[in-house]
Amino acid sequence: MNNKIKILLVGLAALCAISLVIAFQLNAVNKSLRSQYTQKEIEWQADKQSLDQQLKSTLSARNKLNTELSDLRVKFDSLTKDQGALQGKFDLVTKERATLVEKVQDMAKQKKDLEEEVAKLKKGGATSEEPSAVQTSVAGAPSDDAYWANILREKASLEIQVKNLNTQLSDLQLKTEKAMEEGRKLELQLKTTLEGKADLERRIVYNEKLAETLSEDLVREKRDKKAISEQLISIRSENFELKSRLMALGDKKTSLETKLVDLQQEREVLSKRLSELDQILQERVDQIIQVKDDIKQARAQTKEVSTKDSRVVQLQPIVVKASEEAGSRKKTPAAGQVLAINEENNFVIVDMGEQDGVKVGETLSIYRNTQKIATVEVIQTRKEISAADIKSVTSGAKIKVGDMVS
């Protein structure tokens, strides 16, 4: 019984220690999970703020680029209009130049024709011998001078016109050159504007892609936050379950402690009972020893009486055959007998002890009329008596005081 109580107490202590270790581990896991959640939440807030700032900067840059693009488009439209106007002016200048060139050519032809005519007339006036022609020439001398004066005036005026046309033509050439230079400048400006437009479009596309990536990052962060929140909810539920288990373990611990207290009380009661039983057994053993001593004294007295009276009374000798002795030995294999029975705690007391060679853990058999009725195991030994747990009893049988033990 003491071994069982010790084993039970050790098991209860081990269970309490295991429950305390589990509670400590659960508390440590809960603290680590809370710290990880707070750290993750701080990191997520920092990432969210940085992403919001990047998104704001990209949106502002995008708006700025859109305004610049609109300004460049307006400039491009104005430059295209200026280019159209300059192209129209250039076309007008080229047309005027062509007309002036045609006029100069016509005037040059007229001058050449007039010079040929003057040369022909001079030749005709020098070689003519006809009197009519001389007369007409003499008579028409003043008219010829006026004619030649007119021709010279026209020639001078034509030369002046040619000079004017040449100056106009040079002015037009300068204007055309200026217009060409302005056109080249406009083409360069148009090219630069187109390049700036393409660059802005590329930047806009890049900013749009960046905004898409930022939006994707935000969506991913939101998903991660949702997953973390779900994980936190699951962790909280697990924590709640663990707390409930811990509470249940605490309740079990309290119940086990109460059981332990009850067992200790029972142990004290049992120890008291055992001490009482030991006292009773000791008293009974003393009584048995006293009875044995009385029996020995009675036997000695009877022997003395028998020796004294042997001369007077002679009894026939009792002859016991060997077979009967062997049968009697087989019928009485016991070396002791049951002194007391404790049915409540399921053990018996026998009159065999350490002096008879009985040891703790030894198995003994109980007989009644040469029939085995029970098996017991020794749990405590004294000098002349022993206590043994009842392991098995034959069905229909019941151990009684006085049954033989071997």
pLDDT in tens, 6-64: 788 888 888 888 888 888 888 888 888 888 888 888 988 888 888 888 888 888 888 88
What is the average pLDDT score of the chain?
Answer: 77
- The domain total for the chain is 2
Q: How much is the pLDDT for 303?
A: 64
Q: How much is the pLDDT for 306?
A: 53
Domain of 228 in residue numbering reads as 2-128+139-241
pLDDT in tens, 204-214: 888 778 777 87
Tokens of 275: 């001490």
Burial of 304 (C-beta count, 10 Å sphere; 0-12/13-18/19+):
exposed
pLDDT in tens, 376-398: 999 998 888 999 999 999 988 89
pLDDT reading at 141 higher than 70 = no
Q: Is residue 279 part of a domain?
A: no
Q: Is residue 271 part of a domain?
A: no
Over range 146-172, report the average pLDDT.
80
Q: Is residue 62 part of a domain?
A: yes
pLDDT reading at 346 higher than 80 = yes
Over range 273-302, report the average pLDDT.
74
Q: Are residues 53 and 189 in the same domain?
A: yes
For residue 371, list its beta bridge partners.
368
Q: Are residues 233 and 337 in the same domain?
A: no
Q: Is residue 186 part of a domain?
A: yes
pLDDT in tens, 48-96: 888 888 888 888 888 888 888 888 888 888 888 887 887 787 788 778 7
